Amino acid sequence: MDIKIPFVTVREMLNYKPREYAQRVTCPVLVVVAGDDGVNPPDQGIALFESLTSAAKQLHVEKAAGHYDMYHGQHFESSVGKQIDWFREHV
């Protein structure tokens, strides 16, 4: 596979440290994770959640959902319902 990625993109990817940025977040946060995600492993989302310093943080793990399952069907309905409830409470 012949893929060319601009150096600036590689540099930004290497400098991207979401857990460090999460430690600075103090506003309410909802983190939604697909429990069987093969693209973004659930452990990464959970670690991000644990790094948050917000007093009003909430984690929703959509069990048995793969990465693309979050965009349709029962997992979509469940996770969007959770997000709507969260927005009603915090916005």
CB 59 within 8 A of CB 46: yes
pLDDT of residue 1 exceeding 60: no
Read off the pLDDT of each residue in 61-90 and give the average, rounded to a whole number.
Answer: 96
Higher pLDDT, 7 or 26: 26
Q: Using pLDDT thresholds of 50, 70 and 90, give the confidence band for residue 82.
A: very high
Distances in whole angstroms, Cα of residue 80 to Cα of each of 3, 8, 23, 26: 35, 34, 25, 23
Give per-residue pLDDT as tens, 14-25.
888 888 889 999
